[in-house]
Amino acid sequence: MPVNAANALGKRRSLLHETRCQNCSLSSLCLPLALELEDMEQFDAIIRRRSPLKKGESLFRQGSAFSSVFAVRSGSLKQVTTEGSGEDQVTNFYLPSELVGLDGIDEQTYPGSVIALETTTVCEIPFDRLDHLSEQLPELRGQLYRSMSKELRDDRKMMRLLSRKTADQRLASFFTSLSDRFRRRGYSPYSFRLSMSRADIGNYLGLAVETVSRILGRFQQQGLVEVSGREVNILNLEALVAQAQDDH
């Protein structure tokens, strides 16, 4: 179809333009964060363009061969792992500037599928070239170590949430964490749109969908948030933060 073709072309052009790290609004959060301009150009050179993913499309599938890590440029994704005959498990949500695929290095396959929750663009970074470049650029290497370390730290937080917190605390944590991540990215920490369904949230937090719904309703009654579909308005962030703490 001619309309689509024109569309795709337009997208490709803007991608080409934006794809340079120097011009990217996320450069202060992303991997090249610590790089000097000329180093950034080296880094820039190994990055591959990717056409945008539509909602529901996967960046890669569980079990496929590991080759690259990806930096989210816009949109959002979820990581889903399927084990045996069991149900799926949502293990992570990724927002712009975050790094996807780091858990694939070890066994050279991706341990989960990563699926776009909305139209999403990513930068592909072939890992062998990244590794090689990290030999020459200590700052890049450090940033890579830090990214992985941060993910480890976040995972520990998640474990704590899953093993010690009540359903209310989990939801409160989820919202305050999202709020914080939006704030860091320059968006409003009070008003945002959830790109994931209630089912995804419940699955991620280890709760039934019904529980998520009920608690969201309760939060609304208590005047903590205003929720309408996927639009969220945080009315009392402090109270929400207090709720998220694990002492009663």
Judge contact between 59 and 177, C-beta under 8 A.
no
Task: Give the x-and-dash track for 108-147 against a second copy (CB under 8 A).
Answer: ---xx------------------x--xx--x--xx-xxxx
Binds a second copy (CB under 8 A): choice among 9, 45, 105, 199: 105
Look up residue 94 and give its two tokens: 């990724």
What are the DSSP E strand ranges found in 13-63? 58-60
158 binds, among a second copy, DNA, none (CB under 5 to 8 A by kind): a second copy
197 binds, among a second copy, DNA, none (CB under 5 to 8 A by kind): DNA
Q: Which of 113, 129, 22 lies closest to 60 in space, CA to CA?
A: 113
Angle at 181 between CA 212 and CA 72, to 5 degrees: 100
Provide the 8-state DSSP code for 60.
Answer: E
Binds a second copy (CB under 8 A): choice among 14, 28, 64, 245: 245
Is residue 38 near a second copy by the rule CB under 8 A? no
Of 122 and 140, which has the nearer Cβ to a second copy? Answer: 140
Dist. CA 94–CA 98, nearest whole Å: 6
Is residue 61 near a second copy by the rule CB under 8 A? no
Of 189 and 206, which has the nearer Cβ to DNA? Answer: 206
